[in-house]
């Protein structure tokens, strides 16, 4: 066995990037009538988009299906080999099939064509050969051909898979914009992600309520208020009048200012030291709005009020942190 020839890894990487960049650039001139027809077929689809492909095309197809599904176009991937052994039952005449094959003549994919035609399922192809069987049978063929693969042997799918992936993204984004898909729609598909939490989580979902809300009545001394703050652990306490209506908030910041004035802990009433007409938030507002208020006002806690302004809860910055809003 001969010693390996030293290589310039950086130059090899840059050459790969250049070849794949050129392959993507070449796609621009192919986004035309066929692309529009493909998008129109998917928009008119009453079922789901079914993506299929073998080998590396299958891996790319899986990602395209996932991207479509997360951006407002229901989609899933079916392996063409499994489709011939029962999984074809997943596909109906109401669906649209996107079949991916660089050659356009992949046996496992071509085998499905007569069955799809019999069901009347619209077919969109993504191939590197517009004259192939797959391209000729499709109602719209998206040309993802490349001048050369980045692989110096011209064997490993590299530029071709990149071009196919980009074309898939182009379809997904075009459909997203056509549907008016919003950030909130995206959040419903991603409830576990940070964006989902920011756009879906309400104050009601994370606030403290009932006995866990720090609250004292007017007339309570400063020492009594400090005990309530310590018991509830939110770094603040709300203050209510005799009817239970919120009249103020006493925070750690108010305490520091009170100590500077040398007030008596045991005789000074809390309403003399509290912040009146402070910021509040409603239970039905987004938790992200609570974060904006806290950051804007440089405070660490907020009372939560109901529709009539009654005290219903409280939350602080740690609650938002635990909920993943921050």
CB hemisphere CA count around 135 (13 angstroms):
18
Spatial distance between the Cα atoms of 163 and 167, rounded to a whole number of angstroms: 6
pLDDT band at 4 (very low <50, low <70, confident <90, very high): low
Nearest to 67, CA basis, from 147, 140, 141, 176: 176
Please state, in angstroms and as integers, the Cα–Cα distance from residue 13 to each residue in 2, 153, 166, 277, following that order.
Answer: 24, 15, 20, 62
Check whether 194 has a pLDDT greater than 80. Answer: no
Which alpha helices (H) appear in 78-132, and where do they start and end? Answer: 80-83, 107-110, 113-119
CATH class belonging to 9-181? alpha beta
The string of pLDDT tens digits covering residues 279-288 is: 999 988 888 8
**CA diameter of the chain:** 92
**Mean pLDDT across 119-133:** 94
The string of pLDDT tens digits covering residues 247-264 is: 999 988 888 888 777 788
Q: What is the structure's pLDDT at 165?
A: 96
**Mean pLDDT across 154-177:** 91
DSSP state at residue 258: H
Domain boundaries, the chain: 9-181, 203-322
Spatial distance between the Cα atoms of 171 and 73, rounded to a whole number of angstroms: 10
Q: What is the mean pLDDT of the chain?
A: 87
Q: Which of 23-32, 90-99, 234-243 has the lowest mean pLDDT?
A: 234-243
Q: Which residues of 54-83 are buried (b: 16+ CB within 10 A; e: fewer)?
A: bebbbbbbbbbbbbbbbbbbebbbbbbeeb
pLDDT band at 196 (very low <50, low <70, confident <90, very high): low
Residue 154 burial class via C-beta count within 10 angstroms: exposed 0-12, middle 13-18, buried 19 and up: exposed
CATH 3.10.580.10 fits 203-322, yes or no: yes
Contact in structure between 288 and 297 (CB atoms under 8 Å) = no
Contact in structure between 282 and 302 (CB atoms under 8 Å) = no
């Amino acid at each position: 066995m001969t010693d390996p020839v030293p290589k310039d890894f950086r130059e090899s990487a840059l050459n790969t990037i250049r070849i794949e960049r050129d392959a993507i650039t070449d796609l621009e001139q192919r986004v035309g009538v066929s692309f529009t027809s493909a998008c129109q077929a998917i928009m008119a689809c009453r079922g789901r988009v079914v993506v299929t492909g073998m080998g590396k095309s299958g891996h790319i197809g899986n990602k395209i299906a996932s991207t479509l599904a997360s951006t407002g176009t229901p989609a899933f991937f079916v392996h063409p080999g499994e489709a011939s052994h029962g999984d074809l039952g997943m596909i109906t005449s109401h669906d649209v099939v996107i079949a991916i094959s660089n050659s356009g003549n992949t046996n496992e994919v071509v085998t499905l064509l007569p069955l799809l035609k019999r069901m009347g399922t619209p077919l969109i192809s993504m191939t590197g050969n517009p004259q192939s069987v797959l391209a000729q049978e499709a109602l719209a063929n998206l040309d993802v051909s490349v001048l050369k693969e980045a692989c110096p042997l011209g064997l490993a799918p590299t530029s071709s898979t990149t071009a196919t992936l980009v074309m898939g993204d182009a379809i997904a984004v075009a459909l997203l914009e056509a549907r008016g898909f919003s950030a909130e729609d995206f959040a419903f598909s991603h409830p576990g992600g940070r964006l989902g939490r920011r756009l879906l989580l309400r104050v009601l979902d994370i606030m403290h309520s009932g006995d866990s809300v720090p609250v004292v009545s007017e007339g309570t001394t400063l020492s009594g208020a400090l005990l309530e703050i310590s018991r509830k652990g939110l770094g603040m306490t709300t203050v209510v009048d005799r009817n239970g209506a919120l009249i103020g908030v006493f925070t750690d910041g108010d305490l520091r200012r009170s100590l500077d004035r040398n007030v008596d802990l045991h005789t000074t009433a809390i309403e003399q030291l509290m912040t009146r007409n402070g910021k509040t938030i409603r239970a039905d507002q987004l938790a992200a709005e609570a974060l904006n208020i806290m950051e804007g006002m440089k405070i660490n806690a907020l009372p939560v009020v109901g529709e009539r302004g009654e005290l219903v809860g409280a939350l602080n910055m740690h609650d938002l942190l635990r909920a993943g809003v921050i």
